[in-house]
Amino acid sequence: MMKSGSNSERDHIPREADLLAEILERFPSVEAFSRRIGVNKGLLYRLQNGKGCNLETAIRIARGLEMTTDELAELVGISPELLELQEEAS
């Protein structure tokens, strides 16, 4: 299971490039998206530079993109049920 709160190599979500592509498709910049959802833009720069993000950050990003639970679960590579449990724990 992925740990939340850490950005170590082992915590990266499997399809983080897809998450970044979604951000850049819908917003003019990472900074604009950061302001919209209240995620530190440094975390988004890590994603943009290929350093990844953890599950908790991925959830916040996906919710800012108005993704469904099923879409997010597919993106991060876990079942929708586990994702809902993770969100409740956050």
Whole-angstrom CA distances from 55 to 5, 26, 27, 34, 60 are 8, 21, 21, 17, 9
Give the per-residue pLDDT at 21: 84
Task: Return the domain boundaries, the chain.
Answer: 9-89
Tokens representing 41 are 């833009």
Class of CATH domain 9-89: mainly alpha
pLDDT tens digits for range 26-58? 888 888 888 888 888 888 888 778 777 788 888
Q: Which residue has the higher pLDDT, 2 or 20?
A: 20
pTM, entire model: 0.68
What is the chain's mean pLDDT, rounded?
A: 78
pLDDT, one tens digit per residue, over 56-78 is: 888 888 888 888 888 888 877 88
